[in-house]
Amino acid sequence: MSVQAREDRKSTDTGQWLRTYYALRALVSVVWVAAALTVGPMSPFVAGALLLIYPAWDALANVLDARRSGGLRHNPTQAFNTAVSGLTTVAVAVGLAASMNVVLGVFGVWAALSGLLQLATAVRRWKHAGAQWVMVISGAQSAAAGAMFLKEAGAAETPHVADIAPYAAFGAFYFFASALWLTVSHVRSRRRAAAEG
Report mean pLDDT in 10-residue bins for the chain, 197 residues.
49 81 97 97 96 98 93 94 98 96 97 96 88 94 96 92 96 96 87 75
Q: What residues does each domain of the chain span?
A: 3-192
- Give SS3 for 4: helix
Q: What is the DSSP string of 153-194?
A: HTSSSPP-GGGTHHHHHHHHHHHHHHHHHHHHHHHHHHHHHH
> For position 191, what pLDDT does the model report?
81
pLDDT tens digits, one per residue of 16-71? 899 999 999 999 999 999 999 999 999 999 999 999 999 999 999 999 999 998 89
> For position 41, what pLDDT does the model report?
94
pTM of the model: 0.89
> For position 197, what pLDDT does the model report?
63
> For position 11, what pLDDT does the model report?
54
Interhelix angle 165-196/3-38, rounded to 10 degrees, is: 150
> For position 59, what pLDDT does the model report?
97
Residues with Cβ within 8 Å of residue 66, at least 6 apart in sequence: 72, 74, 75, 78, 79, 82
> For position 161, what pLDDT does the model report?
95
Cα gap 102→107, rounded to integer Å: 9
Per DSSP, 75 falls in state: -
Cα gap 139→173, rounded to integer Å: 13
CA-to-CA separations, 2 to 8, 36, 143, in angstroms, rounded: 10, 50, 41
